Structure 1
Amino acid sequence: MIEIVFGDSACGSLKIAQRFGEGEYKGGCSGVMVIHSDGAKPTQAEIKAAQRKAEEKARLAWERATPLGGKTGDIYGFNLMLSIGDISEDQPGIKRRQTLEKLYSVYPGDTGHQAAQELLGRANENLKTVQERIAAGESLRIWYSNQPDELCGLYWLMEQLVQWKGLGAQVSIVRLPEWEAGENGSIVRKNGWGEVAPEEWHRYLALQKPVSLVFITSCAAYWRELQRENAPLRAMLNGQLVSMSEALYDDFILREIAAAGEVFQEAVIIGQVLGKYQLGIGDAWVAFRIEEMIHAGKLKAVSEVAKDSPIYHRLLKKGTHQG
């Protein structure tokens, strides 16, 4: 069975999940980070205790896991970030590359150009292979959620099936729940399949369901409508994926900036926006919008950025036109 996901993190986690929990646990390296709120340096004893705790957690996860099965060669990831930018192309091409380059431009050096080329090349190679395997009669399973990129990915892939005249293909979907019951009665929300740990994937197989021809053609038709609108953003609103302006998330960014001091760390604001509001967007888009606010005079950069760091590793100051 062909497995489809819409992000690199999800792709990596799913590949690990296929064999996670198989055989005896042999241990491994556990990286830990110990941070004190007062900025004090952690002791060696604290670091070792944190490592022991992390290793025990990893062992328990392995022993409790059920391997998902399958082959890594059956997993295809499409990290095209289709909720952002121009989607008018029938196949990922120069316009998608330009959007990816724009997003990755917040990272150092030539990272943006290289990353965009790599993502686009891999996506088109995967698309060709999936098309060939569908034509040969293989079935398809799509893992998606309400995260904008993943939902766009689902609609986009259904439209690809229509283009391929692959409407006879056996297609099933697994939708990530919006929330789950966690330990001690807590509520757990995951932003997308990239946040699902390898030991968790098998639990969601019970949610798999086949889709009908009507579902495929309906998704494809709606994607074509979104293509015609070709808005700067697509986002979930009242349970529907809709076209939106590029300023959609600005209020959340400005809210966190307003609560900060006169001078603040841009990276902290980005982290707060992503962590607090769970908008399903990445750091690059938030950084890009902050860059637009700098150009508009609402903010001012007051520190330099190291050549090997993203541009948002800097201090900003509120400008005279802020608000």
Structure 2
Amino acid sequence: MFLSQIRLSDGARAVVMREGETAHTVPGVTTTLELAHAAIAAGRSLAAEVAHRGQGVPVDLAAALAEGRVLLPVDHQDPAHMHLTGTGLTHLGSASTRNSMHAKADPETLTDSMKMFRMGLEGGKPAGGEIGVQPEWFWKGNGANAAGPGAPLISPGCALDAGEEPEIAGIYLIGPDGTPWRLGFALANEFSDHVTERGNYLWLAHSKLRPASFGPEMLLGPLPDHVEGTSRILRDGEVIWEKPFLSGEANMSHTLANLENHHFKYDLFRQPGDVHVHFFGTATLSFADGIRTQQGDVFQLECAALGLPLSNPLDQQAASAAPVAVQSL
């Protein structure tokens, strides 16, 4: 089952449930968060809450997507209460790209990235519910940095690069008692600046302060162990780069539970009512193949296990002309 949010032809918002080729609105709610809060209050799963409400009006979801009426599958009326975060070096194969970006002069010396990756291989999948090694972690911003399906990914003027990262994101709501509830999973583009990151791995934090997109749909229930999709870049309507990407725990050096634990172990991230979108990482980047994106390129991600494809054009701000001057009051 997939959930999405759309604008109807009259401009009103609606939540849409899709199974197979059949899609319809969910009665009685206009946002996914309303639905999720109701499910928590009733002690039901999100899928059970959808079933409890019955079927609303039929929806042509593909047409809505083509018309730009599909929103993020989850949003928050106050963007400051949506947190965009992620983990890196979590996928088998992800270390080779990072290692080449951060290679030291001595080839016999492991980079810090490779050390982190090895830690995950050795301790990222603990048995018996134990706590495993913590992953690399980063913050991308709040809901102001969340770009909907079809919306442009805007690269700031200070950026040195604008590259896609095809990933899976976990989407969470913090319940009234501080319990993190996973709502589902979504296809995601964790947009980053790989040239800045390559300059010094300590600039990773700077390189991640970029917008990101996820959706158009959210998968309810467990994530398959093996997930396979395709990432491509279009320029002037032509494909200039295309590559498959893999995810799911069978292709990862950490369990999802371990990544979730190391995010939500902080009280800061268990504030009632907050939404979290956590990007689980990737091993596939066009940057690693020498691609340099430019204004107007379109990122396309496809993954049948996660619903409809995600597409976003690249927009770039003009280069910063002067430092930001802070005024004193």
What TM-score does the superposition give when structure 1 sets the normalisation length?
A: 0.23
Q: Greater relative contact order: 1 or 2 (C-alpha under 8 angstroms, separation 6 or more)?
A: 2
Q: Greater Rg, structure 1 or structure 2?
A: 1
Q: Which has the higher helix share?
A: 1
Q: Which has the higher strand share?
A: 2
